[in-house]
Amino acid sequence: MNTPDKALKIAVIGSGPSGFYAAEALLRAGLPLQVDMLERLPTPFGLVRSGVAPDHPKLKEVIKVYDRIARSPGFRFLGNVALGRDVTVAELRAHYHAIILACGAQSDRCMGIPGEDLPGSHTATEFVGWFNGHPDYRDHAFDLGREVAVIVGQGNVAADVCRILAKPVDELRTTDISEHALDALAQSRIREIHIIGRRGPAQARFTPRELRELGEIHQCATLADNRDLRLGERCETELNDLQNGNAAKNCALFREFTANQAGNRRRQIRFHFYLSPSEVLGDSRVEGLRVARNRLEGPAFAQVASATGETTTLNCDLLFRSIGYRGVPIPGLPFDDHRGIVPNAVGRVTDGDHTVPGVYVTGWLKRGPSGVIGTNRADSVETVTHVLADLTQADAVEKPGGDALEALFPARGTRNLSYEEWLQIDEAEIERGRPHGKPREKFTRVRDMLALTGHG
Ligand code: NAP
Protein backbone atom coordinates (compact mmCIF):
# COMPACT_ATOMS: atom_id res chain seq x y z
CA MET A 1 0.00 0.00 0.00
CA ASN A 2 2.72 2.44 0.92
CA THR A 3 4.20 2.86 -2.53
CA PRO A 4 3.91 6.20 -4.32
CA ASP A 5 1.49 4.96 -6.97
CA LYS A 6 -0.73 3.52 -4.28
CA ALA A 7 -0.59 6.52 -1.96
CA LEU A 8 -3.16 6.85 0.80
CA LYS A 9 -5.79 9.23 -0.46
CA ILE A 10 -7.30 11.58 2.07
CA ALA A 11 -9.91 14.29 1.58
CA VAL A 12 -10.02 17.27 3.93
CA ILE A 13 -13.32 19.14 3.73
CA GLY A 14 -12.88 22.83 4.46
CA SER A 15 -9.89 25.12 3.99
CA GLY A 16 -9.86 27.09 7.23
CA PRO A 17 -7.25 26.74 9.98
CA SER A 18 -8.30 23.27 11.15
CA GLY A 19 -8.30 21.97 7.57
CA PHE A 20 -4.83 23.33 6.82
CA TYR A 21 -3.41 22.06 10.12
CA ALA A 22 -4.86 18.62 9.34
CA ALA A 23 -3.26 18.72 5.89
CA GLU A 24 0.06 19.78 7.43
CA ALA A 25 -0.01 16.95 9.98
CA LEU A 26 -0.81 14.43 7.24
CA LEU A 27 1.90 15.65 4.90
CA ARG A 28 4.47 15.59 7.68
CA ALA A 29 3.70 11.97 8.53
CA GLY A 30 6.40 10.66 6.20
CA LEU A 31 3.96 8.41 4.33
CA PRO A 32 3.11 8.44 0.65
CA LEU A 33 -0.06 10.47 0.89
CA GLN A 34 -2.25 12.49 -1.41
CA VAL A 35 -4.25 15.15 0.45
CA ASP A 36 -7.14 16.73 -1.46
CA MET A 37 -8.71 19.77 0.20
CA LEU A 38 -12.29 20.46 -0.86
CA GLU A 39 -13.67 23.95 -0.30
CA ARG A 40 -17.15 25.15 -1.18
CA LEU A 41 -15.93 28.66 -2.11
CA PRO A 42 -13.40 29.31 -4.88
CA THR A 43 -11.19 30.94 -2.19
CA PRO A 44 -9.30 29.18 0.62
CA PHE A 45 -8.56 30.04 4.29
CA GLY A 46 -12.06 29.97 5.81
CA LEU A 47 -12.48 32.25 8.81
CA VAL A 48 -9.00 33.72 8.41
CA ARG A 49 -10.26 35.32 5.20
CA SER A 50 -13.91 35.88 6.11
CA GLY A 51 -14.01 35.88 9.92
CA VAL A 52 -10.96 37.74 11.23
CA ALA A 53 -11.77 41.44 11.42
CA PRO A 54 -10.20 43.62 8.70
CA ASP A 55 -8.47 45.85 11.27
CA HIS A 56 -6.59 42.82 12.68
CA PRO A 57 -4.23 42.17 9.76
CA LYS A 58 -1.57 40.50 11.91
CA LEU A 59 -3.94 37.61 12.61
CA LYS A 60 -4.15 37.02 8.86
CA GLU A 61 -0.41 36.55 8.48
CA VAL A 62 -0.93 32.88 9.26
CA ILE A 63 -2.10 32.60 5.64
CA LYS A 64 1.60 32.47 4.69
CA VAL A 65 1.86 29.20 6.63
CA TYR A 66 -1.22 27.80 4.88
CA ASP A 67 0.15 28.91 1.52
CA ARG A 68 3.33 26.90 2.13
CA ILE A 69 1.26 23.84 3.00
CA ALA A 70 -0.82 24.30 -0.16
CA ARG A 71 2.33 24.35 -2.30
CA SER A 72 3.64 21.08 -0.81
CA PRO A 73 3.92 17.98 -3.01
CA GLY A 74 0.96 15.71 -2.37
CA PHE A 75 -1.50 18.57 -1.78
CA ARG A 76 -4.34 19.50 -4.13
CA PHE A 77 -6.98 22.22 -3.71
CA LEU A 78 -10.44 21.60 -5.10
CA GLY A 79 -12.14 24.96 -4.72
CA ASN A 80 -15.81 25.66 -5.45
CA VAL A 81 -16.76 22.09 -4.54
CA ALA A 82 -19.41 21.82 -1.86
CA LEU A 83 -20.15 18.71 0.14
CA GLY A 84 -23.87 18.05 -0.27
CA ARG A 85 -24.13 20.16 -3.44
CA ASP A 86 -21.41 18.76 -5.71
CA VAL A 87 -20.40 15.55 -3.93
CA THR A 88 -21.91 13.33 -1.28
CA VAL A 89 -20.29 11.80 1.78
CA ALA A 90 -20.85 8.35 0.23
CA GLU A 91 -18.94 9.38 -2.91
CA LEU A 92 -16.07 10.76 -0.88
CA ARG A 93 -15.88 7.57 1.15
CA ALA A 94 -15.77 5.60 -2.10
CA HIS A 95 -12.95 7.73 -3.52
CA TYR A 96 -10.74 8.25 -0.46
CA HIS A 97 -9.25 6.13 2.30
CA ALA A 98 -10.32 8.72 4.84
CA ILE A 99 -12.22 11.98 4.94
CA ILE A 100 -11.63 14.67 7.53
CA LEU A 101 -14.41 17.17 8.09
CA ALA A 102 -13.03 20.61 8.86
CA CYS A 103 -16.07 22.69 7.96
CA GLY A 104 -16.08 24.84 11.10
CA ALA A 105 -19.14 26.35 12.73
CA GLN A 106 -20.98 28.07 9.90
CA SER A 107 -24.13 29.05 11.74
CA ASP A 108 -25.15 30.83 14.95
CA ARG A 109 -26.74 29.77 18.21
CA CYS A 110 -30.32 30.97 18.58
CA MET A 111 -31.57 33.01 21.52
CA GLY A 112 -34.93 31.26 21.14
CA ILE A 113 -37.01 34.33 22.04
CA PRO A 114 -39.96 36.03 20.34
CA GLY A 115 -39.05 38.62 17.73
CA GLU A 116 -35.55 37.23 17.18
CA ASP A 117 -36.00 37.31 13.40
CA LEU A 118 -37.56 40.76 13.07
CA PRO A 119 -35.96 43.00 10.42
CA GLY A 120 -33.09 44.85 12.07
CA SER A 121 -32.08 41.78 14.10
CA HIS A 122 -28.95 40.16 12.69
CA THR A 123 -26.55 37.38 13.55
CA ALA A 124 -22.85 37.99 14.01
CA THR A 125 -22.22 35.56 11.15
CA GLU A 126 -24.20 37.76 8.77
CA PHE A 127 -22.52 41.01 9.81
CA VAL A 128 -18.98 39.63 9.95
CA GLY A 129 -19.46 37.79 6.63
CA TRP A 130 -20.83 40.99 5.09
CA PHE A 131 -18.00 43.32 6.06
CA ASN A 132 -15.47 40.64 5.16
CA GLY A 133 -16.88 40.15 1.65
CA HIS A 134 -18.12 36.56 2.06
CA PRO A 135 -20.23 35.84 -1.06
CA ASP A 136 -23.07 34.36 1.05
CA TYR A 137 -23.61 37.70 2.80
CA ARG A 138 -22.75 40.10 -0.02
CA ASP A 139 -26.35 41.19 -0.48
CA HIS A 140 -27.36 41.44 3.16
CA ALA A 141 -28.50 44.91 4.13
CA PHE A 142 -27.83 46.55 7.50
CA ASP A 143 -29.70 49.74 8.20
CA LEU A 144 -26.88 51.80 9.66
CA GLY A 145 -28.90 54.98 9.30
CA ARG A 146 -30.16 54.27 12.86
CA GLU A 147 -28.71 55.51 16.12
CA VAL A 148 -28.85 52.75 18.72
CA ALA A 149 -27.47 49.22 18.36
CA VAL A 150 -27.48 46.40 20.89
CA ILE A 151 -25.02 43.51 20.73
CA VAL A 152 -25.93 40.42 22.73
CA GLY A 153 -22.94 38.40 23.95
CA GLN A 154 -19.58 39.33 25.43
CA GLY A 155 -17.03 37.34 23.46
CA ASN A 156 -14.42 38.37 20.92
CA VAL A 157 -16.85 38.19 18.02
CA ALA A 158 -19.05 40.75 19.81
CA ALA A 159 -15.91 42.87 20.23
CA ASP A 160 -15.21 42.65 16.47
CA VAL A 161 -18.80 43.62 15.62
CA CYS A 162 -18.64 46.52 18.08
CA ARG A 163 -15.29 47.83 16.83
CA ILE A 164 -16.40 47.85 13.20
CA LEU A 165 -19.57 49.75 14.18
CA ALA A 166 -17.74 52.19 16.46
CA LYS A 167 -14.49 52.96 14.64
CA PRO A 168 -14.17 56.08 12.49
CA VAL A 169 -14.59 54.80 8.96
CA ASP A 170 -11.35 56.46 7.85
CA GLU A 171 -9.43 54.02 10.04
CA LEU A 172 -10.92 51.15 8.06
CA ARG A 173 -10.19 52.53 4.60
CA THR A 174 -6.74 50.98 4.32
CA THR A 175 -7.81 47.55 5.56
CA ASP A 176 -9.17 44.72 3.40
CA ILE A 177 -12.76 45.50 4.47
CA SER A 178 -15.10 45.15 1.49
CA GLU A 179 -15.99 48.25 -0.45
CA HIS A 180 -19.76 47.78 -0.03
CA ALA A 181 -19.32 47.67 3.77
CA LEU A 182 -17.06 50.71 3.74
CA ASP A 183 -19.66 52.66 1.77
CA ALA A 184 -22.44 51.71 4.20
CA LEU A 185 -20.29 52.41 7.29
CA ALA A 186 -19.36 55.83 5.88
CA GLN A 187 -23.08 56.71 6.03
CA SER A 188 -23.55 55.22 9.51
CA ARG A 189 -25.46 57.28 12.06
CA ILE A 190 -24.88 54.85 14.92
CA ARG A 191 -24.22 56.77 18.13
CA GLU A 192 -24.77 54.25 20.92
CA ILE A 193 -23.70 50.61 21.09
CA HIS A 194 -24.83 48.55 24.07
CA ILE A 195 -23.08 45.24 24.74
CA ILE A 196 -25.08 42.90 26.90
CA GLY A 197 -23.83 39.99 29.01
CA ARG A 198 -26.09 37.54 30.79
CA ARG A 199 -23.50 37.08 33.56
CA GLY A 200 -21.11 39.53 35.22
CA PRO A 201 -17.89 41.34 34.31
CA ALA A 202 -15.81 38.51 35.78
CA GLN A 203 -17.40 36.04 33.34
CA ALA A 204 -17.10 38.12 30.15
CA ARG A 205 -15.34 36.08 27.45
CA PHE A 206 -13.36 38.89 25.83
CA THR A 207 -9.62 38.54 25.78
CA PRO A 208 -8.16 41.64 27.49
CA ARG A 209 -6.40 42.80 24.35
CA GLU A 210 -9.70 42.93 22.45
CA LEU A 211 -11.50 44.59 25.37
CA ARG A 212 -8.76 47.21 25.74
CA GLU A 213 -9.11 48.06 22.05
CA LEU A 214 -12.76 48.96 22.64
CA GLY A 215 -11.58 51.54 25.15
CA GLU A 216 -9.17 53.12 22.68
CA ILE A 217 -11.47 53.95 19.79
CA HIS A 218 -11.10 57.53 18.60
CA GLN A 219 -14.02 59.83 19.46
CA CYS A 220 -15.79 57.03 21.31
CA ALA A 221 -16.56 56.87 25.05
CA THR A 222 -16.47 53.39 26.57
CA LEU A 223 -18.66 53.17 29.64
CA ALA A 224 -19.57 50.74 32.41
CA ASP A 225 -21.63 51.10 35.57
CA ASN A 226 -19.78 51.08 38.87
CA ARG A 227 -22.60 49.08 40.52
CA ASP A 228 -21.91 46.13 38.20
CA LEU A 229 -18.33 46.00 39.43
CA ARG A 230 -19.29 45.28 43.04
CA LEU A 231 -18.42 41.64 42.82
CA GLY A 232 -19.38 38.97 45.30
CA GLU A 233 -17.08 36.58 47.09
CA ARG A 234 -17.33 33.84 44.46
CA CYS A 235 -16.38 36.26 41.67
CA GLU A 236 -13.41 37.43 43.74
CA THR A 237 -12.37 33.78 44.09
CA GLU A 238 -12.50 33.49 40.32
CA LEU A 239 -10.47 36.66 39.83
CA ASN A 240 -7.79 35.59 42.32
CA ASP A 241 -7.14 32.36 40.42
CA LEU A 242 -3.90 32.69 38.49
CA GLN A 243 -5.28 30.45 35.73
CA ASN A 244 -8.02 33.00 35.20
CA GLY A 245 -5.81 36.00 34.47
CA ASN A 246 -7.93 37.24 31.58
CA ALA A 247 -10.93 37.76 33.86
CA ALA A 248 -8.90 39.83 36.34
CA LYS A 249 -7.50 41.96 33.52
CA ASN A 250 -10.97 42.39 32.01
CA CYS A 251 -12.38 43.54 35.34
CA ALA A 252 -9.56 46.07 35.75
CA LEU A 253 -10.49 47.45 32.33
CA PHE A 254 -14.20 47.55 33.14
CA ARG A 255 -13.29 49.50 36.30
CA GLU A 256 -11.42 52.01 34.15
CA PHE A 257 -14.50 52.33 31.95
CA THR A 258 -16.67 53.20 34.98
CA ALA A 259 -14.64 56.40 35.37
CA ASN A 260 -15.28 57.51 31.76
CA GLN A 261 -17.85 60.13 30.76
CA ALA A 262 -19.79 60.19 27.49
CA GLY A 263 -18.96 63.90 27.08
CA ASN A 264 -19.42 65.09 23.52
CA ARG A 265 -17.77 62.09 21.89
CA ARG A 266 -19.24 61.04 18.59
CA ARG A 267 -20.10 57.55 19.77
CA GLN A 268 -20.42 55.58 22.96
CA ILE A 269 -20.09 51.91 23.87
CA ARG A 270 -21.87 50.91 27.06
CA PHE A 271 -21.41 47.54 28.80
CA HIS A 272 -24.39 45.98 30.58
CA PHE A 273 -24.23 42.88 32.77
CA TYR A 274 -26.62 40.38 34.37
CA LEU A 275 -29.19 40.81 31.58
CA SER A 276 -30.78 38.07 29.45
CA PRO A 277 -32.83 39.03 26.39
CA SER A 278 -36.41 37.77 26.70
CA GLU A 279 -38.13 39.43 23.72
CA VAL A 280 -37.21 41.53 20.71
CA LEU A 281 -39.82 44.27 20.53
CA GLY A 282 -41.27 45.90 17.42
CA ASP A 283 -44.12 45.54 14.93
CA SER A 284 -42.41 45.52 11.58
CA ARG A 285 -38.79 45.95 12.70
CA VAL A 286 -36.66 46.07 15.84
CA GLU A 287 -37.71 48.83 18.24
CA GLY A 288 -36.36 47.52 21.51
CA LEU A 289 -35.19 44.59 23.57
CA ARG A 290 -36.89 43.33 26.70
CA VAL A 291 -34.32 41.93 29.10
CA ALA A 292 -34.62 39.97 32.33
CA ARG A 293 -32.28 40.87 35.17
CA ASN A 294 -30.18 38.00 36.49
CA ARG A 295 -28.25 37.13 39.59
CA LEU A 296 -25.40 34.63 39.63
CA GLU A 297 -25.98 31.25 41.21
CA GLY A 298 -23.72 28.27 41.75
CA PRO A 299 -20.14 27.79 42.89
CA ALA A 300 -17.17 29.86 41.71
CA PHE A 301 -16.15 28.96 38.12
CA ALA A 302 -19.58 27.43 37.51
CA GLN A 303 -21.79 30.41 38.22
CA VAL A 304 -24.87 30.58 36.01
CA ALA A 305 -27.32 33.37 35.29
CA SER A 306 -30.59 32.98 37.14
CA ALA A 307 -33.57 35.31 36.55
CA THR A 308 -34.52 37.60 39.44
CA GLY A 309 -38.01 38.21 37.99
CA GLU A 310 -37.22 41.86 37.29
CA THR A 311 -37.38 42.99 33.65
CA THR A 312 -36.53 46.17 31.83
CA THR A 313 -36.57 47.44 28.24
CA LEU A 314 -33.75 48.85 26.14
CA ASN A 315 -34.83 50.93 23.18
CA CYS A 316 -32.79 50.11 20.10
CA ASP A 317 -33.00 50.10 16.32
CA LEU A 318 -30.55 47.34 15.50
CA LEU A 319 -29.72 44.08 17.20
CA PHE A 320 -26.68 41.86 16.68
CA ARG A 321 -26.76 38.37 18.21
CA SER A 322 -23.24 37.26 19.00
CA ILE A 323 -23.82 34.38 21.39
CA GLY A 324 -21.60 31.78 19.76
CA TYR A 325 -21.42 29.85 16.52
CA ARG A 326 -22.57 26.31 15.77
CA GLY A 327 -21.83 23.75 13.08
CA VAL A 328 -24.35 22.74 10.46
CA PRO A 329 -25.40 19.11 9.87
CA ILE A 330 -23.81 17.24 6.97
CA PRO A 331 -26.25 15.10 5.00
CA GLY A 332 -25.47 11.44 5.55
CA LEU A 333 -23.64 11.91 8.85
CA PRO A 334 -24.75 12.06 12.49
CA PHE A 335 -25.08 15.44 14.18
CA ASP A 336 -25.24 16.49 17.81
CA ASP A 337 -27.93 19.15 17.56
CA HIS A 338 -27.54 20.25 21.18
CA ARG A 339 -23.84 21.06 20.84
CA GLY A 340 -23.89 21.94 17.14
CA ILE A 341 -21.02 19.54 16.36
CA VAL A 342 -20.46 16.22 14.61
CA PRO A 343 -20.31 13.64 17.42
CA ASN A 344 -16.86 12.13 17.72
CA ALA A 345 -14.40 10.34 19.94
CA VAL A 346 -11.13 12.32 19.75
CA GLY A 347 -11.81 13.02 16.08
CA ARG A 348 -13.31 9.70 14.99
CA VAL A 349 -16.91 10.37 13.95
CA THR A 350 -19.32 8.34 16.05
CA ASP A 351 -22.90 7.24 15.54
CA GLY A 352 -24.24 6.15 18.90
CA ASP A 353 -21.83 3.52 20.18
CA HIS A 354 -20.16 2.96 16.81
CA THR A 355 -17.47 4.82 14.94
CA VAL A 356 -18.16 5.65 11.31
CA PRO A 357 -15.26 4.02 9.43
CA GLY A 358 -13.02 6.37 7.49
CA VAL A 359 -14.75 9.58 8.63
CA TYR A 360 -13.07 12.06 10.99
CA VAL A 361 -13.68 15.58 12.20
CA THR A 362 -11.50 18.42 13.44
CA GLY A 363 -11.68 22.05 14.57
CA TRP A 364 -14.88 23.81 15.59
CA LEU A 365 -17.06 21.10 14.06
CA LYS A 366 -15.32 18.64 16.40
CA ARG A 367 -15.13 20.53 19.69
CA GLY A 368 -17.39 23.57 19.26
CA PRO A 369 -16.42 27.19 18.61
CA SER A 370 -13.69 27.89 21.12
CA GLY A 371 -10.08 29.00 21.21
CA VAL A 372 -7.93 31.04 18.87
CA ILE A 373 -6.64 30.13 15.39
CA GLY A 374 -3.62 28.26 16.78
CA THR A 375 -5.81 26.10 19.04
CA ASN A 376 -6.79 24.21 15.91
CA ARG A 377 -3.27 22.96 15.28
CA ALA A 378 -3.17 20.63 18.29
CA ASP A 379 -6.77 19.64 17.63
CA SER A 380 -6.00 18.62 14.05
CA VAL A 381 -2.82 16.81 15.06
CA GLU A 382 -4.94 14.76 17.48
CA THR A 383 -7.44 13.84 14.76
CA VAL A 384 -4.72 13.03 12.23
CA THR A 385 -2.95 10.77 14.73
CA HIS A 386 -6.09 8.62 14.81
CA VAL A 387 -6.56 8.77 11.05
CA LEU A 388 -3.03 7.45 10.52
CA ALA A 389 -3.32 4.82 13.24
CA ASP A 390 -6.52 3.49 11.64
CA LEU A 391 -5.13 3.64 8.10
CA THR A 392 -1.95 1.78 8.83
CA GLN A 393 -4.07 -0.94 10.41
CA ALA A 394 -6.57 -0.95 7.56
CA ASP A 395 -6.64 -3.49 4.74
CA ALA A 396 -4.83 -2.28 1.65
CA VAL A 397 -7.77 -1.37 -0.54
CA GLU A 398 -7.04 0.89 -3.47
CA LYS A 399 -9.16 4.01 -3.79
CA PRO A 400 -9.66 6.00 -7.00
CA GLY A 401 -8.94 9.39 -5.35
CA GLY A 402 -9.27 12.95 -6.63
CA ASP A 403 -8.68 12.39 -10.36
CA ALA A 404 -11.70 10.11 -10.54
CA LEU A 405 -13.70 12.50 -8.38
CA GLU A 406 -12.85 15.44 -10.65
CA ALA A 407 -14.00 13.42 -13.64
CA LEU A 408 -17.52 13.45 -12.16
CA PHE A 409 -17.74 17.23 -12.03
CA PRO A 410 -18.33 18.37 -15.64
CA ALA A 411 -21.55 16.38 -15.95
CA ARG A 412 -22.74 18.03 -12.73
CA GLY A 413 -21.89 21.52 -13.87
CA THR A 414 -19.30 21.79 -11.09
CA ARG A 415 -16.36 23.97 -12.01
CA ASN A 416 -13.63 23.26 -9.52
CA LEU A 417 -10.75 25.69 -9.07
CA SER A 418 -7.15 24.71 -8.47
CA TYR A 419 -4.77 26.42 -6.05
CA GLU A 420 -3.08 28.09 -9.04
CA GLU A 421 -6.44 29.55 -10.01
CA TRP A 422 -6.89 30.84 -6.47
CA LEU A 423 -3.48 32.51 -6.83
CA GLN A 424 -4.83 34.28 -9.93
CA ILE A 425 -7.76 35.59 -7.86
CA ASP A 426 -5.37 36.56 -5.07
CA GLU A 427 -3.19 38.56 -7.44
CA ALA A 428 -6.19 40.31 -8.99
CA GLU A 429 -7.56 41.23 -5.54
CA ILE A 430 -4.22 42.71 -4.49
CA GLU A 431 -4.14 44.68 -7.75
CA ARG A 432 -7.69 45.98 -7.19
CA GLY A 433 -6.79 47.14 -3.69
CA ARG A 434 -3.61 49.00 -4.67
CA PRO A 435 -5.15 52.28 -5.94
CA HIS A 436 -7.08 52.58 -2.66
CA GLY A 437 -4.12 51.82 -0.40
CA LYS A 438 -5.79 48.57 0.64
CA PRO A 439 -3.98 45.23 0.95
CA ARG A 440 -6.65 43.79 -1.35
CA GLU A 441 -10.15 44.42 -2.63
CA LYS A 442 -11.89 41.06 -2.38
CA PHE A 443 -14.13 39.64 -5.03
CA THR A 444 -17.45 39.13 -3.31
CA ARG A 445 -19.29 37.22 -5.99
CA VAL A 446 -18.47 33.66 -7.00
CA ARG A 447 -19.39 34.38 -10.62
CA ASP A 448 -16.72 37.11 -10.80
CA MET A 449 -14.11 34.73 -9.42
CA LEU A 450 -15.12 32.08 -11.94
CA ALA A 451 -15.05 34.59 -14.80
CA LEU A 452 -11.59 35.76 -13.81
CA THR A 453 -10.26 32.22 -13.91
CA GLY A 454 -11.89 31.41 -17.23
CA HIS A 455 -14.75 29.36 -15.83
CA GLY A 456 -17.44 31.99 -16.42
P1 NAP B 1 -17.74 33.12 22.99
O2 NAP B 1 -16.39 33.59 23.32
O3 NAP B 1 -18.14 31.76 23.41
O4 NAP B 1 -18.78 34.20 23.61
C5 NAP B 1 -20.17 33.99 23.50
C6 NAP B 1 -20.89 34.99 24.39
O7 NAP B 1 -22.30 34.78 24.22
C8 NAP B 1 -20.61 34.79 25.89
O9 NAP B 1 -20.62 36.06 26.50
C10 NAP B 1 -21.83 33.97 26.34
O11 NAP B 1 -22.16 34.12 27.71
C12 NAP B 1 -22.91 34.59 25.48
N13 NAP B 1 -24.09 33.74 25.34
C14 NAP B 1 -24.13 32.45 24.96
N15 NAP B 1 -25.42 32.02 24.93
C16 NAP B 1 -26.18 33.06 25.34
C17 NAP B 1 -27.57 33.24 25.51
N18 NAP B 1 -28.43 32.26 25.26
N19 NAP B 1 -28.01 34.45 25.93
C20 NAP B 1 -27.15 35.45 26.18
N21 NAP B 1 -25.82 35.35 26.02
C22 NAP B 1 -25.33 34.16 25.60
O23 NAP B 1 -18.02 33.14 21.41
P24 NAP B 1 -17.59 34.12 20.23
O25 NAP B 1 -17.47 35.53 20.67
O26 NAP B 1 -18.51 33.78 19.12
O27 NAP B 1 -16.12 33.61 19.86
C28 NAP B 1 -15.87 32.29 19.38
C29 NAP B 1 -14.39 31.97 19.51
O30 NAP B 1 -13.65 32.72 18.54
C31 NAP B 1 -13.82 32.34 20.86
O32 NAP B 1 -12.91 31.37 21.27
C33 NAP B 1 -13.13 33.65 20.59
O34 NAP B 1 -12.09 33.98 21.50
C35 NAP B 1 -12.61 33.41 19.18
N36 NAP B 1 -12.35 34.70 18.50
C37 NAP B 1 -11.13 35.26 18.69
C38 NAP B 1 -10.85 36.49 18.13
C39 NAP B 1 -9.51 37.12 18.34
O40 NAP B 1 -8.61 36.46 18.82
N41 NAP B 1 -9.33 38.39 18.04
C42 NAP B 1 -11.83 37.17 17.38
C43 NAP B 1 -13.07 36.58 17.23
C44 NAP B 1 -13.32 35.33 17.80
P45 NAP B 1 -21.81 32.95 28.79
O46 NAP B 1 -20.37 33.11 29.07
O47 NAP B 1 -22.72 33.24 29.91
O48 NAP B 1 -22.13 31.63 28.09
Q: How far apart are the first and last CA of the chain?
A: 40
| Choice from 132, 157, 275, 290 to test ligand 1 binding pocket (greatest atom count within 8 A of CB) | 157
* Atom of ligand 1 at shortest range from CA of 111: 18
For the domain bounded by 4-106+326-416, which CATH number is listed?
3.40.50.720
Sorted by sequence, the CB contacts under 8 Å of residue 409 that are 6+ apart come out as 81, 86, 415, 416
CB 254 within 8 A of CB 224: yes
What pLDDT, on the 0 to 100 scale, is given for residue 456? 74
What pLDDT, on the 0 to 100 scale, is given for residue 395? 62
Smallest CA separation from ligand 1 atom 9, residue: 154
How many angstroms from the chain centroid is the CA of residue 349? 22
CA of 35 to the centre of ligand 1 (A): 33
CA of 204 to the centre of ligand 1 (A): 9
Smallest CA separation from ligand 1 atom 38, residue: 156
Smallest CA separation from ligand 1 atom 7, residue: 323
CA of 112 to the centre of ligand 1 (A): 17
| Choice from 18, 48, 198 to test ligand 1 binding pocket (greatest atom count within 8 A of CB) | 198
Smallest CA separation from ligand 1 atom 22, residue: 323
| Choice from 125, 150, 156 to test ligand 1 binding pocket (greatest atom count within 8 A of CB) | 156
State the burial class of residue 413 (Cβ atoms within 10 Å of its Cβ: 0-12, 13-18, 19+): exposed
CB 321 within 8 A of CB 145: no
User: Sign of torsion, CA 273 279 281 285?
Assistant: positive
CA of 153 to the centre of ligand 1 (A): 6
CA of 257 to the centre of ligand 1 (A): 21
SS3 106: coil
* Rounded distance between C-alpha atoms, residue 130 and residue 369, angstroms: 20
Helices (H), 71-222: 89-95, 124-131, 156-166, 179-186, 208-214
For residue 77, the surrounding DSSP H or E stretch is strand 75-79
CA of 314 to the centre of ligand 1 (A): 21
* Atom of ligand 1 at shortest range from CA of 109: 15
* Atom of ligand 1 at shortest range from CA of 112: 18
* Atom of ligand 1 at shortest range from CA of 370: 32
CB 238 within 8 A of CB 244: yes
Beta strands in 212-321 (DSSP E): 220-223, 267-272, 275-281, 288-297, 304-315, 318-321
What pLDDT, on the 0 to 100 scale, is given for residue 21? 98
CA of 63 to the centre of ligand 1 (A): 24
Span(s) in the chain for CATH 3.40.50.720: 4-106+326-416
CA of 370 to the centre of ligand 1 (A): 8
Smallest CA separation from ligand 1 atom 15, residue: 323
Print pLDDT tens along the chain (456 aa): 334 457 899 999 999 999 999 999 999 999 999 999 999 999 999 999 999 999 999 999 999 999 999 999 999 999 999 999 999 999 999 999 999 999 999 999 999 999 999 999 999 999 999 999 999 999 999 999 999 999 999 999 999 999 999 999 999 999 999 999 999 999 999 999 999 999 999 999 999 999 999 999 999 999 999 999 999 999 999 999 999 999 999 999 999 999 999 999 999 999 999 999 999 999 999 999 999 999 999 999 999 999 999 999 999 999 999 999 999 999 999 999 999 999 999 999 999 999 999 999 999 999 999 999 999 999 999 999 999 999 887 666 889 999 999 999 999 999 999 999 999 999 999 999 999 999 999 999 999 999 999 987
Ligand 1 shell residues, CB under 6 Å: 56, 109, 111, 152-158, 160, 197-199, 203, 205, 210, 276, 322-325, 369-372
Smallest CA separation from ligand 1 atom 4, residue: 155
- Cα dist. 232→110, 132, 292, 370 in Å? 30, 40, 20, 27
CA of 155 to the centre of ligand 1 (A): 4
CA of 92 to the centre of ligand 1 (A): 33
CA of 124 to the centre of ligand 1 (A): 11
Q: What is the topology classification, in CATH, of domain 110-323?
A: FAD/NAD(P)-binding domain (3.50.50)
